[in-house]
Amino acid sequence: MVKDFPHFVNRRYNDINGPLMDNAVNDLHDQRWKDVRSVLAPTFTSGRLKQMNGLINECCDNLVSNLGKLADEQVDVEGQKLFRTVTLDIIASTFFGTKIDSQNDPKNAFTKKASEAFNFSLLDPIFIILFLFPWALPLAKKLGMSAVKKENLDFFVKNINEIIKLRTESNVVRRDFIQLMLKSMKSADPNGLEKAPAISEDLPATVTDQTADIISHELSVGSAHEKSLSNANYKLSLDEVVAQAVVFFLAGFETTASALTFLTYSLAVNSDIQERLRQSIEEVMQDREEPDYDAIAQMQYLDACVNEALRLYPPVSRTERECNEDWEYKGLKIEKGSVIAVPIFAIQRDPEFWPNPEVFDPERFSYENKKNIKPYTFDTFGQGPRNCIGMRELCIYLPIIKMVMVHILRNFRIAPTAKTEIPLTLSDGAGFVYPKNGAWVRLERL
C-alpha cells in the first residue's frame, strides 16, 4: 500500500464531524488532501519548533512542582489523568498561545471540553456506524450525528477563530502553531481577513534532521511518491486553518498523554532500565539546567525507551486505507472501494517480528539493533506519505514527550504501588488503547 500509494491515498469516507471539519487533513481525500498536507509540511520545520523550548519547559517546571507535592504526600498517581493535564498545558501554549494551568485548575473550560471530547464509548451508536456500517454515514450526517460532541467542537472552533482574529487584527506575533499556519494562509480570505501577520524568521531551520526523532522517523517509511505530493503554492483558507488547528489539538492531546502514561508505567515496573535511562540523560545534560532540542536529540537511550513503550502500547491500535482502483497483490485481488485495516497493535505484539513481544526491552531500538527491525512492523505512527503528521511534519511531539520525561527523571524516581497492575490490563476504545484500570505509579524525590 505504501509502494502503490496512488491506489491507497484515502481512509474510509468519514465526513461526520460537520462541514468545517471536512477541511481537516485527516478526513480530506485525493488532491485536496495532497494540497493541504503539502502546505503543512514545510510550515513546521523543527528549526522553528526549536523556538518553543521555553514554552514547553515552563509547563514542565509547573509539572515538577506539582509532582513534588504529590511525592511529599506519598500519593498514588494515575498516569493518563496526570499527563492529560500537562499535555493540555503544552498544546494550549505551543499551538494556541494560550496559557492555561489545567494541572492546578482542572475545572477550566479548556480542560473540561478537551476531556469531554474524548469521553466516548465503544457502545456509542456513532462508533458502531463508523466501524460496522460505513455506508450509513451520509444518513448519520444528515441526522446531525457527530463523532465529537457538537458543543465541544464548537467550543474549540470558536476559541481558535477568536485567536486568529486577534492575531490578524492586532499584528501580534507569537511563536506558536497558529502563527506558523497563518503564514500559509491566503492573504485575502472570503471570511473578511485582510492579511496574515508575518512570522518572525530569526531562527534558521538548520537543525531539522538532528532534532527530528532519531529512530521512529526511520521506521515509519515514506515513499518515492512523496515528492510528487508537494504543492508549495497552495494557500490555506480560514476554514482550513481552523480545521487543522482543531484536529491537531484533538489528535495530539490523547495520543501524547497515552505515550507518556505507558512510558512512565514501563519505567516504574522496570527499575533497572529506569536507572540506566536516568544516568544516560545526566551524561548529556551535564551543565545544562533545562533540556532543549539539541540535548534531546543526543539522548539515544531515551529514544529507544520511548519507541519501545510505543511498540508495546501503541496509543492508536489500527489504521486503514481505502483502495481506489481494483488492485492485485501476489494473486490477492482487492476490489475498488475495499477498506484495508492495518492492525497496528497486533503487528507490534507478533512474536514473528518481535521475540518475547510482551517484554519491555528498549535494546530492540538500540543503534546496533534497529537495522534488524523488519520494515513496516513498527507502525505506531502509520506508514507512507499519509502517516502521522505529528510524527513527521510537526516532528515536535516525540521531543515533547522526551522533554517531559527528562524533567521527571531528573527529579523523581518512578515506583510501582500496590495499585500497579503487572501486566497492565488494556482496553481498546474505538481505536485508542488505554490502561483499563489506570496506570498507577508513585513518585519519590531523588
Please report how close the Cβ of residue 316 comes to ligand HEM at its closest, in angstroms: 4
Least distance in angstroms from the C-beta of 95 to ligand HEM = 8
| Footprint (CB under 6 A) of ligand HEM, residues 391-420 | 394, 397
Residues 6+ apart with CB under 8 A from 359: none
Phi first, then psi, for residue 270 (nearest 5°) are -135, 75
Candidates 79, 362, 382, 399; binder of ligand HEM (CB under 6 A) is 382
User: In the complex, what is the shortest distance from the CB of residue 36 to ligand HEM, in angstroms, rounded to a whole number?
Assistant: 8
Query: By CB under 6 A, is residue 49 in contact with ligand HEM?
Result: no
Which of these segments, 159-167, 210-218, 253-261, 354-362, binds ligand HEM (CB under 6 A)? Answer: 253-261
b/e string for 268-306 if b means 16 or more Cβ within 10 A? bbbeebbeebbebbeebbeeeebbbbebbbebbbbbbbb
Beta carbon of residue 82, minimum distance to ligand HEM (angstroms, whole number): 16
Are residues 180 and 199 in contact, defined by beta-carbon separation less than 8 angstroms? yes
Q: Map the footprint of ligand HEM across residues 16-35, applying CB under 6 A.
A: 25-26
Work out whether 387 is an interface residue with ligand HEM (CB under 6 A).
yes
Q: Does 259 bind ligand HEM (CB under 6 A)?
A: yes
**Given the complex with ligand HEM, which of 196 and 251 has the nearer CB atom?**
251
* Phi, psi at 153, each rounded to 5°: -60, -45
Would you say 230 or 416 has its CB closer to ligand HEM?
A: 230
Per CB under 6 A, 56 contacts ligand HEM: no
Closest CA to 78 of 270, 313, 260: 260
Residue 255 lies near ligand HEM (rule: CB under 6 A): yes
Query: Is residue 378 part of the contact set for ligand HEM (CB under 6 A)?
Result: no
Query: Closer CB to ligand HEM, residue 256 or residue 270?
Result: 256
Quick check: 247 binds ligand HEM (CB under 6 A)? yes
Is residue 311 within 8 Å of 337, Cβ to Cβ?
Answer: no
The answer to the question of residue 251 lying near ligand HEM (CB under 6 A) is yes
**By C-beta, is 255 or 274 nearer to ligand HEM?**
255
Decide if residue 390 touches ligand HEM (CB under 6 A): yes
Instruction: Give yes or no for a contact between 316 and 432, defined as CB atoms under 8 angstroms apart.
Output: yes
Distance in Å, CB of 73 to ligand HEM, minimum: 30
Is position 60 annotated in a ligand binding site?
no
For 284-362, list the strands marked E by DSSP: 319-322, 327-329, 332-334, 339-342
Distance CA 79, CA 441 (A): 7
Closest CA to 392 of 269, 218, 265: 218
Instruction: Please report, as a single letter, which amino acid is at residue 286.
Output: Q
Q: How far apart are CA 160 and CA 144, in angstroms?
A: 22
CB nearer to ligand HEM: pick between 134 and 416 = 134
Check binding of 316 to ligand HEM (CB under 6 A): yes
**CA distance linking residue 227 with residue 232, whole number of Å:** 11
Determine, following the binding rule CB under 6 A, whether residue 10 of this chain makes contact with ligand HEM. Answer: no
Angle ∠(137,318,390) on CA atoms, nearest 5: 95
What CA–CA distance (Å, rounded) separates 311 from 212? 19
The nearest distance, CB 383 to ligand HEM, in angstroms, is: 5
**What is the chain's Cα-based Rg?**
21
Residue 159 is a binding residue for ligand HEM (CB under 6 A): no
State the binding string over 199-238 for ligand HEM (x if CB under 6 A, else -). ----------------------------------------
Closer residue to ligand HEM (CB): 407 or 442: 407
Q: Contact, 18 vs 150, CB < 8 A?
A: yes
Among 388, 424, 433, 439, binds ligand HEM (CB under 6 A): 388
Q: Binding residues for ligand HEM, how many (CB under 6 A)?
A: 24
Does 380 bind ligand HEM (CB under 6 A)? Our answer is yes
d(CA 68, CA 62): 10
- Using a 10 angstrom Cβ sphere, with 0-12 exposed, 13-18 middle and 19 or more buried, the burial of residue 324 is middle
Instruction: Compute φ and ψ for 222, nearest 5 degrees.
Output: -95, -160
* Minimum separation from the CB atom of position 262 to ligand HEM (A): 9
Asked if 9 is part of the footprint of ligand HEM (rule: CB under 6 A), the reply reads no
DSSP 103: T
Least Å distance between CB 319 and ligand HEM? 4
Annotated binding site: 388
Annotated binding site for heme: 388
Contacting residues toward ligand HEM, per CB under 6 A: 25-26, 37, 247-248, 251-252, 255-256, 259, 315-316, 319, 380-383, 386-390, 394, 397
